[in-house]
Amino acid sequence: MKILVQKIKLKLLSDSEGGSSLPFSKGKDEGFTLVELILYLAIASLIVVFASVFIHNLLESKVKNQAILEVEEQGVQTLNLITQTIRNAEDINSPAKGDSSSELSLAVSDASKSPTVFDVSQETLRIKEGDSSATALTSNRVWVDEIHFRNLSRDGTPGIVRIELTLSYASEGQTQAYQYSKTFYASAALR
């Protein structure tokens, strides 16, 4: 018992010289101070904010790229179809030589498809072959802002048509990421 009392006295003396006064403490404080806690929370908040901004920018970039791709693909495909149809046509019905119009009418060799007419209705480019009903060439995700067919033909030459087509992405909102427009140009001559 005497030994136990001496050990307790030694422990209390050593604790009063800078150690802990609690017998179960290891001699150092564990846990966070208020300053450390605030610092850690601030760092974690910054990481969350930067990650959120990065993800937002990534998604916005993806949407913008989809808009560009949609306009580009439909513009190229539409112009390819129109120019190929012009090359295979026998004559240009309208517009007249030297004139420009938003509608192109071609006489083609297949009587069931003659005349072949390209026009715009409700911001959609259409093709009408013969007596059949008009078929949309552009999807509802792309609007035709403007189209001009200019007949550049001269007397004694095969017909030549210049096409100017402006397409834009069908943006439902005013968000800049969804807005994209491009003007396509092409020319084709009858063979």
pLDDT tens-digit readout, 4-61 = 556 666 665 665 555 555 555 555 567 778 998 999 999 999 999 999 999 999 988 8
| DSSP-derived secondary structure letter, 2 | H
Q: What's the pLDDT at 11? A: 63
Backbone φ and ψ for 159, nearest 5 degrees, come out as: -65, 145
Q: What's the pLDDT at 80? A: 97
From 131, 126, 118, select the one nearest 85 (Cα to Cα): 118
Contacts of 132 (CB under 8 A, 6+ apart): none
Domains of the chain, residue spans? 52-189
Q: What's the pLDDT at 46? A: 96
- What's the rounded Cα separation, in Å, for the pair 84 and 145? 22
Q: What's the pLDDT at 28? A: 59
- What's the rounded Cα separation, in Å, for the pair 167 and 71? 6
The SS3 call for residue 165 is strand
From 47, 153, 53, select the one nearest 94 (Cα to Cα): 153
Q: What integer best gives the mean pLDDT of the chain? A: 87
